Amino acid sequence: MAKLLEGRPIAQNLKQEIIKEISILGKKPVLASIMVGDNAGAEAYAKSQKKTAQDLGIEYQFHKLSADVAEKVLTEFIEKLNKDKSVNGIIIQMPLPQQIDYKKISQYISPDKDTEGMHPLNIGKILFNKAKLIPCTASAVMELLNATGVQLRGKEVVIVGHSEIVGKPLALLLLDKFATVTVCHIGTQEAGKIKEHVRRAEVLIVAVGKAELIKGGWIKEGAIVIDVGINRVADKIVGDVEFEEAAKHASWITPVPGGVGPLTVTMLMRNVVEALKEVSNGRKVF
Ligand code: NAD
C-alpha cells in the first residue's frame, strides 16, 4: 500500500525557510495581485494567497480591474507596477475575460517580477538549468518528488499533460535531474498509447484535468504517483488518477485534494522572495 505524499507538511517546512530568508533580507517583500472582473474561484484563490502571504510576512496588494478593461489599460497598469520599486512580484489571476490574451499580457510583466515564472525569459532559463523563477505548480511537483528521497537519475518518468504551466517546464526540470522523461498528451491518447506509457512509469505525473483518466491497475508496482489534476465530480474533488486502486500498487501517491494544491501557493511566495533576492543582489544575467 502506498505512502501518502501530502503537500501540507512540506509546505510547512518551506514556509519556515521563507520566513527565515525574509528576516535575513531585512526587507518586507511585496506581491501585487491583479484580478480582472469577477470570478468566485479566482477570488477564493486570491484570498488564500493573501492569507499565506500575511503568515509569511509578505505584503499582498490586491488590485481589481473591471471585466471590460481594455488590453492597453491593463498593460499600462502592469508597466506601472514594473516601475514601482516597492513591488517585488506581480501575479495575474486567472481566468481573464475574453478580450485579454494571457500569453500576450504575461510578457508585459518584468521578468524580475514574474513570480509565476511564465515570462519567456524565465521559461528559457529553465532550459539552461539557471531559472530562479519557476512556474509554481511545476516546482511544487519537484518538491514533492524531493520529499520522497528517491533518486530521479535514470528513472523512467512519464508526464501526462504538456501544458506550459505544468508538463513542459517539468519535463525540462526532470531532464536536469537526469531522469528519462516521456511526455504524453492528447495526441498520445488519440494514438491509444497512454496505458502503455503509464505502465512502465517509475514516476508518474498526471496533469490533464479529466477525472480518473488513469486507471489504478495501470500503475507499475512501486511507482511514485503525483496527481496534479483537480476535477469536481458530484460535489467531490478528485484527481486524474483512480486513487484507491493506484494506491495498491504505488510506493508513494499524492492525495487530491491535499497533494500538489497546498504547495502551489507556497511556491508562489518563494518566488516573491527569490525576486526580491535577485534585485537585492543586482543580478541580471546568469
Ligand atoms: P491544460 O488544459 O492546459 O492541459 C491539459 C493537457 O492534457 C494537455 O497537454 C492536453 O494535451 C492533455 N490532455 C487532454 N485530454 C487528454 C486525454 N484524454 N488524455 C491525455 N492527455 C490529455 O491543463 P493544465 O492547466 O496543465 O491543468 C491540468 C490539471 O491540473 C487541471 O485539472 C488543473 O485544474 C490542474 N492544476 C492543478 C494545480 C494545483 O495547484 N494543484 C495547478 C495547475 C493545474
Domain co-membership, 145 together with 242? yes
Residue % of the chain over a pLDDT of 90: 95
pLDDT digits (tens, 9 = 90+) for 13-25: 999 999 999 999 9
CB 50 within 8 A of CB 60: yes
Whether 243 maps to a domain, the answer reads: yes
Domain co-membership, 140 together with 60? no
Task: From 158, 143, 151, 239, select the one nearest 134 (Cα to Cα).
Answer: 143
Domain co-membership, 90 together with 198? no
Pairwise CA distance, residues 190 & 15, whole Å:
42
Domain co-membership, 256 together with 165? yes
Q: Which of 93, 106, 166, 215 to mutate to test the pocket of ligand 1 (most atoms within 8 A of CB)?
A: 166
Domain co-membership, 106 together with 205? no
Residue 45 neighbours by CB distance under 10 Å:
18
Predicted structure pTM score: 0.97
Q: Is the CB of 169 under 6 A from ligand 1?
A: no
Q: Is the CB of 165 under 6 A from ligand 1?
A: yes
For all residues of the chain together, what is the average pLDDT? 96
CA of 230 relative to ligand 1 center, distance in Å: 9
Nearest-CA residue for atom 5 of ligand 1: 208
| Helical packing angle, 7-25 and 136-148, nearest 10° | 110
pLDDT at 279: 76
Domain co-membership, 102 together with 147? no
Whether 15 maps to a domain, the answer reads: no
pLDDT digits (tens, 9 = 90+) for 33-78: 999 999 998 999 999 999 999 999 999 999 999 999 999 999 999 9
Residues 82-88: what's their mean pLDDT? 96
Whether 178 maps to a domain, the answer reads: yes
Q: Report how far Cα 285 is from the mean position of its chain's Cα atoms.
A: 24
Whether 4 maps to a domain, the answer reads: no
Domain co-membership, 204 together with 149? yes
Domain span at residue 190?
136-262
Please tell me the least confidently modeled range out of 168-177, 216-225, 276-285: 276-285
> Which residue among 58, 76, 111 closes a domain?
111
Q: Quick one: cell of 180?
A: 528519462
Residue 244 neighbours by CB distance under 10 Å:
8
Q: How many structural domains compose the chain?
A: 2
CATH of the domain at 75: 3.40.50.10860
Q: Is the CB of 119 under 6 A from ligand 1?
A: no
Pairwise CA distance, residues 100 & 67, whole Å:
10
If you ran DSSP here, which 8-state letter would residue 187 be given? Answer: H
CA of 266 relative to ligand 1 center, distance in Å: 20
Would residue 194 be called left, alpha or beta, if left means φ above 0 and alpha means ψ between -120 and 50 degrees? Answer: alpha
Nearest-CA residue for atom 39 of ligand 1: 261
Task: From 196, 199, 259, 262, select the one nearest 227 (Cα to Cα).
Answer: 259
pLDDT at 247: 98
Nearest-CA residue for atom 34 of ligand 1: 230
> Which residue among 57, 78, 111 closes a domain?
111
Domain co-membership, 91 together with 152? no
pLDDT digits (tens, 9 = 90+) for 178-204: 999 999 999 999 999 999 999 999 999
Domain co-membership, 31 together with 76? yes
CATH of the domain at 254: 3.40.50.720
Domain co-membership, 143 together with 249? yes
165 Cα nearest atom in ligand 1? 26
Q: Is the CB of 48 under 6 A from ligand 1?
A: no
Residues 101-130: what's their mean pLDDT? 95
Whether 160 maps to a domain, the answer reads: yes
Whether 276 maps to a domain, the answer reads: no
Pairwise CA distance, residues 207 & 80, whole Å:
34
Q: Report how far Cα 154 is from the mean position of its chain's Cα atoms.
A: 24
Whether 13 maps to a domain, the answer reads: no
pLDDT at 150: 97
Domain co-membership, 148 together with 73? no
Q: Is the CB of 258 under 6 A from ligand 1?
A: no
In the block, residue with C-alpha cell 483518466: 213
Domain co-membership, 92 together with 140? no
CA of 208 relative to ligand 1 center, distance in Å: 3
Task: From 176, 175, 181, select the one nearest 159 (Cα to Cα).
Answer: 181
> Which residue among 111, 128, 157 closes a domain?
111
Q: Is the CB of 189 under 6 A from ligand 1?
A: yes
Q: Quick one: cell of 255?
A: 492525495
Whether 245 maps to a domain, the answer reads: yes
